């Protein structure tokens, strides 16, 4: 894995967390237990702080960053979909940020909320608990149901298993 100290700030990586070798974790970053950080992901705590809770999946090519002397906070059991950007925002527990979505400065995504693929949550916008938001700018169009929650609980556990058990022993570089 590519973990970097920056100006005396060192990442803290929780037990059972897997950071893919081509991902970067830089500076003042706290990764909880059982997280997955996929290939090409960049988690930058170079001049701001990033805190990511237990069991969160930071999928391929995700970018997480914070403003100077500020913080990006991502809760537990969150899924950050492929290629999304989280910048100086707050994502509550069990939220899902879809592929290619952007959550910008001082925005807040509530517990169990979903930001759809390609959506843009602009500065200071709040997506309420359990809300489903899509579009540019993001607009809440519905509420997450119980069936969705049950499916996503299962999916989140799969990423935790990958991080804790399957990737550490099963990944082999060829060539």
- Domain covering 2-169 in this structure, CATH number: 2.160.10.10
Pairing of strands 96-97, 79-80: parallel
pLDDT bin (cut points 50, 70, 90) of residue 84 is very high
Confidence band, pLDDT 50/70/90 cuts, at residue 171? low
Beta-bridged to residue 121, according to DSSP, are: 103
- What value does the mean pLDDT of the chain take? 93
Mean pLDDT within 21-26 = 95
- Number of alpha carbons in the 13 Å side-chain half-sphere of residue 13: 22
């Amino acid at each position: 894995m590519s973990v970097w100290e920056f100006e005396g700030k060192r990442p803290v990586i929780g037990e059972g967390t897997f950071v893919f070798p081509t991902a970067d974790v830089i500076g003042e970053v706290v990764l909880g237990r059982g997280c997955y950080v996929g290939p090409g992901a960049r988690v930058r705590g170079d001049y701001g702080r990033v805190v990511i809770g237990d069991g969160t999946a930071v999928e391929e090519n995700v970018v997480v960053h914070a403003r100077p002397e500020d913080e990006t906070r991502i809760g537990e059991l969150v899924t950050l979909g492929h290629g999304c950007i989280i910048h100086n925002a707050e994502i509550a527990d069990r939220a899902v940020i879809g592929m290619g979505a952007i959550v910008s400065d001082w925005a807040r995504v509530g517990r169990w909320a979903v930001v759809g693929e390609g959506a843009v949550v602009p500065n200071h916008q709040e997506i309420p608990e359990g809300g489903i938001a899509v579009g540019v700018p993001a607009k809440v169009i519905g509420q997450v149901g119980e069936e969705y929650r049950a499916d996503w609980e299962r999916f989140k556990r799969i990423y935790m298993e990958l991080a804790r058990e399957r990737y550490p022993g099963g990944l082999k570089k060829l060539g």
